[in-house]
Chain A
Amino acid sequence: MTARRSVLIVGESLAGITAARHLRTLGHTGPLTIIGAEEHGAYSRPPLSKAVLKDPAADDTLGLALDGIDAEVVRSPAVTADTRRRTVTTADGRQTGYDALIVATGADARRLAAPRQRGELVLRTLDDARLLRARLANASSAIVIGAGFLGMEVASACAARGIPVTVVDADQPLERILGGCLADAITARAAAYGIRFVQATGFATLTGDPVGGVALPDGTELTADLVVTCAGELPCVSWLAGTGLADRLGVGIDHACATTAPGVFAAGDVTYLRGDGTRPDRRAPFWSNAVAQGRTAAASALGLPAPGPPNDDYFWTEIAGLAVKVVGPLPLIGEPTSVQGSVTDGRALLTWSHADGTSTVVAYGLRKPVAALRALAATSSPPSP
């Protein structure tokens, strides 16, 4: 059915590898090429802010194996794409044609340093994590800019090593994601763990060259041995310039992971789900979405029906020794219903009901498998009117 169709995947990412594997699972026997920019090949990123910051032995356990996929791998970054002639050119000068293209180039860390200002630390790649770990070994103070999942995980790694750490953000830790109720509890827990929080009234700027501090909008300057920027990510789309496929949010996809160009699909952190009349455009750069979209993009590239929705909406974090797992849409507004335990005790199962009839479930300090959380989210949604 799909025998000689050639599929090109750009991005040796979780989404890219998942798509490659799923293409073969679906019976694609034609040519398959993967273009990857990372010299280490594909690897798992969630441990970078957790196990890898603690222990160098974790470095060698992260590889996402390509075994059994039978793909040609090009280790050179894509630099241009021509969606009319259906070709992608890599930095080594090579041009690869395709019948179907899957864009899975992921995202880079957002940086705050001024042009030519040196020494900004971020955490996105294995090399970033190794550098940060080496710097943690000699640091006696740290500042983290950004109080999202990543920033709080990095701050937790500092505190676990006994390094005094200050987190700076305009909103309370995780408030934009988890809402005020859980943000209050997490901020208090983080403080008890040795993580100080400073709420800035606007944009912070990095000071020093190399970077050694941060200036807050009120004129205060904080300094530390380590300054780590955890201010979100930017989709890797520069190689798509001129194709019309990408904008500020990344590559827009529909529920089949199709883009606006024929034969071009996209998956993972490079994407956003295009809105419709009722929902806005939405980026959701989470692990389980990269898996779901990799599978969907593979099916679509072969002209097969999508195996499921392109978003799984499951994410988790570990802050100050506390695991938080979330299934369902964000943000979380208002008070939750407690199914079990209490936030005060550090162990709770909570649900939020949304106006559109969906629910979000949070396991706070409780070990629960995603399937149980999904089942609870499905049953706690009120029936549609």
Chain B
Amino acid sequence: MKISVDHPRCEGHGLCADQAPDIFSLDDDAELTYHFEGAEVPDEHQLAARAAVNACPVAALRVLS
């Protein structure tokens, strides 16, 4: 499973990091870092990753199968 991040669309709410702190983080200016950019999300993080995708209020995250 991979996740795509639409960075221009991201408004830096940070609700993804609430759901999946191991794969998303934001700095104090609300710039998002996705820790598995271009890579597969490890199995143990997949449930949290899907919850994070759902929780994004601007639909900037998508699961790529």
Chain A interfacial positions (CB closer than 8 Å to B): 14, 17-18, 21-22, 24-25, 44, 46-47, 50-51, 61-62, 64-65, 67-68, 287-288, 291, 314, 316, 323, 325, 367-372
CB < 8 Å: which of B15, B29, B53, B58 contacts A288? B15
Q: Does B42 contact A (CB under 8 A)?
A: no
Which 5 residue pairs spanning A and B have beta carbons closest together? A369-B14, A369-B26, A369-B30, A367-B30, A44-B59
Asked if residues B55 and A68 are in contact (CB atoms below 8 Å), the reply is: no
Asked if residues A21 and B54 are in contact (CB atoms below 8 Å), the reply is: yes
CB distance from A209 to the nearest CB of B (A): 37
Bound together, the chains give a CA A65 to CA B50 distance in angstroms of 9
Residues of chain B within 8 A (CB-CB) of A46 are 57-58
Asked if residues A24 and B47 are in contact (CB atoms below 8 Å), the reply is: yes
Within 8 A of A (CB), among B1-49: 6, 9, 11-15, 17-19, 26-30, 46-48
Asked if residues A369 and B13 are in contact (CB atoms below 8 Å), the reply is: yes
Chain B interfacial positions (CB closer than 8 Å to A): 6, 9, 11-15, 17-19, 26-30, 46-48, 50-51, 53-59, 62-63, 65
> 4 more A-B contacts (CB under 8 A) besides A51-B9, A61-B62, A288-B15?
A68-B46, A314-B13, A370-B14, A372-B30
Overall SS of chain A's interface: helix
CB distance from A19 to the nearest CB of B (A): 11
Asked if residues B62 and A18 are in contact (CB atoms below 8 Å), the reply is: no
Residues of chain A within 8 A (CB-CB) of B27 are 369
Bound together, the chains give a CA A62 to CA B28 distance in angstroms of 27
Bound together, the chains give a CA A291 to CA B56 distance in angstroms of 10
Bound together, the chains give a CA A16 to CA B17 distance in angstroms of 20
Asked if residues A316 and B13 are in contact (CB atoms below 8 Å), the reply is: yes
Asked if residues B13 and A18 are in contact (CB atoms below 8 Å), the reply is: no
Bound together, the chains give a CA A46 to CA B56 distance in angstroms of 10
Residues of chain B within 8 A (CB-CB) of A18 are 51, 54-55
Asked if residues A291 and B9 are in contact (CB atoms below 8 Å), the reply is: no
Bound together, the chains give a CA A65 to CA B11 distance in angstroms of 21
Asked if residues B12 and A22 are in contact (CB atoms below 8 Å), the reply is: no
CB distance from B59 to the nearest CB of A (A): 4
CB distance from A269 to the nearest CB of B (A): 14
Residues of chain B within 8 A (CB-CB) of A368 are 12, 28-30
Residues of chain A within 8 A (CB-CB) of B62 are 61
Bound together, the chains give a CA A295 to CA B27 distance in angstroms of 26
Bound together, the chains give a CA A50 to CA B14 distance in angstroms of 19
Asked if residues B29 and A371 are in contact (CB atoms below 8 Å), the reply is: no
CB distance from B23 to the nearest CB of A (A): 15
Residues of chain A within 8 A (CB-CB) of B11 are 316, 323, 367
Asked if residues B59 and A68 are in contact (CB atoms below 8 Å), the reply is: no
Measured CB to CB, the nearest residue on chain B to A46 is B57
